[in-house]
Amino acid sequence: MAILTGLGVLVLGMVKADLEDAKVCRWLARQLIYRAAEHLPHEERARWREESIRDALDLPGRLPPLLWALDVYLKAGSWGRMRGGPSWSQVLVARVRAAWRWLWSLRKARRARVLEEMNRHPSSSRPLVEATEVVATATVEATATMTARGVTRSGGSATLGYSPKTAFDQYRKSLPHLSDEEVVTLLSQSTHEFWADVDRRIEEYRRRRVEELGF
Amino acid sequence: MADPPRMTMNVLKVLRVLLEDPTTERHGLEIGLAAGLRGGSLYPVLSKLEDAKLVTSAWEDVDPSEAGRPRRRLYRLSPDGIVYARHALAEAQQNLSIGDQHAPAWGHTPGFPAPGGASA
């Protein structure tokens, strides 16, 4: 309860601070009038929207424009019905569609950004960042190999939460019939295979993304 | 004239403001402030009056970039609207006793017939 109260106070404080900014109030007023105009017939929207915004923003101060716009918004439903505008459900459907189009455009923009980055840097960090998932699947052997050979190219051990030293000792104990030299040779080979696998999967990832993006 | 709108208090308030000086064009905010109406009540009334051809409106003839502000929509009573407004307000004053001391003298708009002789 105390947490909810605290959050409420915080949110109210933020809203109050925002409403003290005239630009925020005017922005809100515009948004309300845009929403209100959706209730009117399509051919009348632009005219009334322009006029309402003009009048609202002509009012001095922070809150009067907002209150003007709020009044327009609250009575827009009955005004729209009087003018033969779309019904409440049609407005709702239009809003959901608009929200969906907006979300879709965000997704497309993100894809375009990724593609642009990939084109700019063919071996860029982007796939490698995504490939942390691949690295996260590193085997204990590979981590141990890196430790045994003093390779600093790491990441798997941290992701997996293993101590490289412990991992190496465990691996060594699991192969009691092999000498130290044979274990290191085996680990060297598995390291090579591991990184070859990482490179292969990164290449697969890159090819898949290019296909997904349709290029 | 198309079908006249239903005479509500808001319609009467707007007609009264516009009739104060029928030759002057007024923008929506000015009408709203004078009539004591906010946007949500004002615009439906203006649209109804415009549909009934009692009011004419036009965009202000200014270049927004030169004026440094967006253009306004200006309203004025049409000749039919003046006659109708005078008649409606006179009738309302008789029936409802609005009791507003600032109400203009409805029957004395120069150049237009008195309410009794008007055919609304």
Q: From first to last of its 215 residues, what are the pLDDT tens digits of chain A?
A: 667 777 777 667 766 666 667 788 888 999 999 989 988 888 888 889 889 998 988 888 888 899 999 999 999 888 888 888 788 788 888 889 888 988 888 888 887 887 777 666 655 444 444 444 444 444 444 544 444 444 444 444 444 444 556 667 777 788 888 887 787 788 778 778 888 888 888 888 888 877 877 76
- Partners of B25 on chain A (C-beta within 8 Å) are none
> Nearest Cα to A181, choosing from A157, A151, A149?
A149
Angstroms from B72 CA to nearest CA on chain A: 7
Angstroms from A15 CA to nearest CA on chain B: 24
Class of B9-62+70-98 per CATH?
mainly alpha
φ and ψ of B76, to 5 deg: -155, 160
Question: Tokens 């060594």 correspond to what residue?
Answer: A172
**One domain for residues A101 and A53:** no
Host domain of residue A138: 125-212
**One domain for residues A107 and A158:** no
SS3 percent helix, strand, coil of chain B, rounded to 5, is 50, 10, 40
- Partners of B41 on chain A (C-beta within 8 Å) are 71, 75
Neighbours of A35 (CB within 10 A): 15
Taking the C-alpha atoms of residue B44 and residue A150, their distance in angstroms, rounded to an integer, is 80
Give the strand order in the sheet containing B26-27.
B26-27, B73-77, B55-59
Question: Tokens 């960042």 correspond to what residue?
Answer: A129
Look at residue B51 and give its three-state secondary structure.
helix
**One domain for residues A132 and A148:** yes
Q: Tell me, what's the pLDDT at A136?
A: 46
The number of residues in chain B equals 120
Taking the C-alpha atoms of residue B4 and residue B120, their distance in angstroms, rounded to an integer, is 9
Low-confidence spans in chain B with pLDDT less than 50: 98, 107-108, 116-120
**One domain for residues A108 and A144:** no
Mean pLDDT of chain B: 80
The set of residues, in sequence order, having a beta carbon less than 8 Å from that of B96 and lying 6+ positions away, is none
Classify residue B6 by its DSSP letter. P
What is the rounded radius of gyration, in angstroms, for the C-alpha atoms of chain B?
15
- Residue that is last in its domain, among A99, A120, A141: A120
Closest-approach residue (CA) in chain B for A77:
B40
Of B39, B41, B71, the CB nearest to A56: B39
Which residues, listed in sequence order, are joined to residue B56 by a DSSP beta bridge? B76
| Alpha helices for chain A (secondary structure H) | 2-19, 22-37, 42-58, 63-74, 76-83, 88-120, 125-130, 132-136, 140-148, 156-160, 164-174, 180-212
- Looking at the structure of chain A, the number of domains it has is 3
Residue A164 identity: P
A51/B28 Cβ within 8 A: yes
In angstroms, the first-to-last Cα distance of chain A is 53
B71/A72 Cβ within 8 A: no
Q: Tell me, what's the pLDDT at A106?
A: 86
**One domain for residues A80 and A92:** no
The ipTM of this complex is: 0.73
Q: In sequence order, what DSSP letters do the residues of A128-172 get, joined into one string?
A: HHHTHHHHHT--HHHHHHHHHTT-----HHHHHT--HHHHHHHHH
The answer to whether the beta carbons of residues B18 and B85 sit under 8 Å apart is yes
Q: Tell me, what's the pLDDT at B27?
A: 92
B73/A59 Cβ within 8 A: no
